[in-house]
Chain A
Amino acid sequence: GQSLEQPSEVTAVEGAIVQINCTYQTSGFYGLSWYQQHDGGAPTFLSYNALDGLEETGRFSSFLSRSDSYGYLLLQELQMKDSASYFCAVRDDGNNRLAFGKGNQVVVIP
């Protein structure tokens, strides 16, 4: 079977840093993606890691350790608009099939 574990909810103040962890156990592994979804909205792509290490895109960074089956998304300088659900998703086959984690709700307060 497949599983992706993410903690469920975190509250943080504006300007803070939040790390969202993801551990996975899947039948195949080609890469780890992160998606953001605002309430009532569609998931939008944030980042993709195929190799170990840190990828930085503006205020957001994503890390992967394939040997530990673990990744994280780092949200820096939090803004109110970052209040959303964040999903990790494993690309587990060559057809770009994504297996999503249960998501992590981030609530940013003033």
Chain B
Amino acid sequence: DTAVSQTPKYLVTQMGNDKSIKCEQNLGHDTMYWYKQDSKKFLKIMFSYNNKELIINETVPNRFSPKSPDKAHLNLHINSLELGDSAVYFCASAGTSFEQFFGPGTRLTVL
């Protein structure tokens, strides 16, 4: 039944490690997004893909690399993790309407 799912829900790791977060949507949407929400709840777009093509690429360190193997999946790989990467990462998807459907979030803690 889950519309947009993310794994893992929690991720605790050491500085310098590489980690990935996976996202899947079963809504048949063409567009998917990655957002970062910081400790002050500020929500900022990072990337967006439309039907596997990158369409939005905000000013994000190139340690962050999204990958979309198909239009139902958008993964986020982060290299050389830093303390400042600690945040909640949300995946979202959208179809032809303006509503974006958010996943449950992945809380990343870098120690």
Binding site for B on A (CB under 8 A): 31, 33, 37, 41-45, 48, 50, 85, 87, 91, 95-100, 102-103
Contact = CB atoms under 8 A, between A and B. Distances in A.
A42 B98 contact: no
A88 B91 CA distance: 18
Interface SS, B side: strand
A95 B98 CA distance: 10
B12 to A, nearest CB: 17
Contact of B56 (A33, A45, A85, A95): A95
Given A31-B98, A95-B48, A42 B105 contact: yes
A41 B6 CA distance: 13
B94 A96 contact: yes
Given A42-B103, A42-B104, A43-B90, A99 B45 contact: yes
Interface pairs A-B: 9 shortest CB-CB: A42-B102, A45-B99, A100-B43, A48-B98, A43-B102, A95-B55, A103-B41, A97-B56, A42-B104
